[in-house]
Amino acid sequence: MDLAVGMRLRELRRRANLSLEAVAGRSDLSVGFLSQIERGLSSPSLRVLATLADVLGVGIAALFGSQASGDASHGVIIRSAERAELKLWRSGISKQLLNPTGADAKLNLFLVHMEPGGSTGDELYTHDGEEAGLVLEGEMTLTVDDETWRLKTGDSFRFASRRPHRFGNPAKRAKAVVLWVNCVTGG
């Protein structure tokens, strides 16, 4: 999985005609770390992926790569077996992209699974866009700016992604599942 994400990041960086040095300068990450990510030798956090997506001028959904091309859906539907998935195994979080991808996709729908104790980490992060979600199963903590909430099944949220945030599953045994929407607002 790390290699697939790394290869996709390299492809997007090259498509944007950016060197590793340029991306490093814009992301405050080292050239060596970026090189390790691109070669699948390092597993980036969701915070790092969001930062790199911003630098590359894409939404996080672009990091999922291409989806299977089952029936001729014309970019309107995606079958459950065709969903692209991004597994951030070190953080205990996986995201399934629920909508077809496309060059003009600004709105993306994800099914986020968080293992017990899974989180985006202690550091707050920001990225382009706006996000909202609905907790389908379990519980999650959501920190936006300096306030933290504990959300339970049925609770929902919305905030501008430029506000520093992080999230996680505080449970010791139960998985959390969240329907998550991200709308990329930048160019």
- The per-residue pLDDT for range 103-129, each reduced to its tens digit, is 567 888 999 999 999 999 999 999 889
Q: Which of 15-29, 34-48, 83-97, 167-181 is most confident?
A: 167-181
Residue 64 has pLDDT above 80, yes or no: no
Per DSSP, the three-state class of 14 is helix
Amino acid identity of residue 178, one-letter, is V
Alpha carbon 67 to its chain's center:
16
What is the band of 69 on the pLDDT scale with cuts at 50, 70, 90? very low
Q: What is the pTM of this model?
A: 0.78
Across 42-61, average pLDDT: 85
Beta carbons within 10 angstroms of residue 156's beta carbon = 11
From CA 57, how far away is CA 50, in angstroms rounded?
10
Across 177-182, average pLDDT: 96
pLDDT of residue 72: 43
Q: In degrees rounded to 5, what are phi and psi of residue 179? A: -85, 120
The domains found in the chain, sorted by start residue, are: 2-64 (1.10.260.40), 80-183 (2.60.120.10)
pLDDT of residue 1: 60
Q: Where are the alpha helices (DSSP H) in 39-150?
A: 46-56
Return the structure tokens found at 106. Answer: 């600004």
CA proximity to 111, closest of 146, 143, 136, 131: 136
Weakest-pLDDT range from 37-41, 117-121, 171-175: 37-41
CA proximity to 164, closest of 127, 118, 117: 127
Per DSSP, the three-state class of 130 is strand
Question: What's the start-to-end Cα distance of the chain, in Å?
Answer: 28
pLDDT of residue 186: 62
pLDDT of residue 103: 55
From CA 176, how far away is CA 93, in angstroms rounded?
10
Contact (Cβ atoms closer than 8 angstroms) between residue 79 and residue 42 = no
What is the band of 74 on the pLDDT scale with cuts at 50, 70, 90? low
